[in-house]
């Protein structure tokens, strides 16, 4: 069973608060209408080196886009967002344990789009360093909602109601995650990650317009594939194509890159190893063992007294990547 950790602090109302005191009022739209937009970010330890948070600026930019699309005001500068995360990380970090951060804008004032005020709340959870085990993936009877109702492009908490239903469905079928098809019956994404598949040596993934979140991890995987001369193509994917794929993986910040061992009960071809190669390269880049220009790491000193010194590793993607 998944139980939520209760780390000592939460960033809320502009500063750190004790976990038990980080509460929302029952009358606010964040509670009554699930009005929140969020980002999940991942921080990795480099073996014997600093702790680095992946693509911080990209996450800030996507949070701004989600807020704009739902008319949730958010005018904090990137530096405020970054420093808030680093402040919380500085308090909670444990040597050798990676972290996942959830940065959420909760609507705490206003009704029906008038007088909306949002608060940036950051929670952080520890994670063990480990390459994820392959999973059984199913195809859900639930569908990803189209762009005209709950757009996948908006990373809002409310979008995960369907994902939750799909996971409940998957559990009874022995699946650790599920694929959501879009309203045309083509592959959209998994419940909290994107889908990549391999057919005849080419990696395919559906474009965001098929009902997937504009994934930051997918952009990294695409850049890694290009630099390894692995063809990577974004195009619609039929359900039956997924069922005959050589390889499948799910990919996202929290999921990282997880290989799929069966799809709807059908085992996958174990001879094809492209996604395993990409998975290995992904972790080497994220952990800064073998840096890659597509992975920007914002580092936090491992020593408490040096933590205020923030260093952005000089590993930004060149223009156009
Ligand atoms: N789709 C959904 C529904 C997700 O929740 C996520 C995780 N944020 C992704 C795709 C992957 O996005 P990213 O790589 O930016 O984490």
pLDDT, block means (10 residues), the chain with 321 residues: 90 98 98 98 93 98 98 98 97 95 98 98 95 96 96 97 98 97 98 98 98 98 98 98 97 97 93 94 96 96 52 34 25
pLDDT score recorded for residue 102: 98
Q: Which protein residues touch ligand 1 with a CB less than 6 Å away?
A: 40, 189, 192-194, 212-213, 215-218, 252-253
pLDDT score recorded for residue 303: 58
Q: How far is the CA of 193 from the centre of ligand 1 (A)?
A: 4
Q: How far is the CA of 312 from the centre of ligand 1 (A)?
A: 23
Among candidates 173, 186, 143, 171, which has minimal Cα distance to 264? 173
Among candidates 242, 69, 60, which has minimal Cα distance to 147? 69
* Atom in ligand 1 nearest the alpha carbon of residue 218: 14
pLDDT score recorded for residue 127: 94
pTM of the complete model: 0.93
* Atom in ligand 1 nearest the alpha carbon of residue 219: 14
Residue to mutate, 163, 180, 215, ligand 1, most ligand atoms under 8 Å from C-beta:
215
Helix (H, G, I), strand (E, B) or coil at 266: strand
Q: How far is the CA of 292 from the centre of ligand 1 (A)?
A: 21
Q: Give CA–CA dist 120/103, Å, rounded.
A: 7
């Amino acid at each position: 069973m998944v139980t939520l950790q209760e780390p000592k602090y939460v960033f809320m109302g502009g500063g750190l608060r004790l976990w038990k005191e980080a509460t929302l009022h029952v009358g606010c739209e964040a509670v009554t209408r699930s009005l929140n937009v969020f980002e999940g970010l991942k921080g990795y330890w480099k073996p014997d080196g600093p702790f680095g948070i992946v693509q911080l600026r990209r996450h800030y930019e996507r949070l701004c886009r989600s807020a704009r699309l739902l008319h949730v005001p958010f005018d904090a500068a990137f530096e405020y967002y970054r420093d808030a995360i680093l402040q919380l990380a500085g308090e909670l970090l444990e040597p050798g344990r990676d972290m996942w951060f959830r940065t959420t804008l909760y609507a705490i004032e206003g009704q029906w789009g008038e007088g909306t005020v949002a608060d940036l709340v950051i929670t952080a959870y520890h994670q063990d360093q480990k390459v994820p085990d392959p999973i059984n993936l199913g195809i859900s009877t639930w569908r990803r909602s189209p762009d005209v109702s709950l757009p996948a492009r908006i990373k809002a908490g409310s979008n995960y109601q369907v994902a939750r239903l799909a996971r409940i469905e998957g559990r009874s079928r022995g699946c650790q995650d599920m694929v959501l098809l879009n309203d045309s019956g083509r592959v959209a994404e998994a419940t909290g990650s994107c889908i990549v598949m391999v057919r005849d040596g080419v990696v395919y993934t559906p474009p965001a317009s098929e009902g997937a979140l504009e994934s930051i991890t997918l952009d990294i995987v695409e850049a890694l594939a290009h630099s390894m001369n692995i063809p990577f193509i974004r195009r619609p994917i039929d359900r039956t194509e997924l069922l005959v794929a050589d390889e499948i993986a799910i990919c996202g910040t929290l999921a990282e890159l997880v290989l799929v061992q069966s799809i709807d009960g059908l085992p996958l071809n174990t001879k094809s190893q492209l996604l395993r190669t990409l998975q290995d390269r992904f972790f080497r880049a994220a952990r800064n063992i073998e840096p890659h220009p597509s992975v920007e790491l914002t580092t936090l000193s491992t020593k408490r007294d040096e933590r205020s010194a923030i260093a952005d590793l000089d590993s930004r993607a060149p223009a156009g990547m």
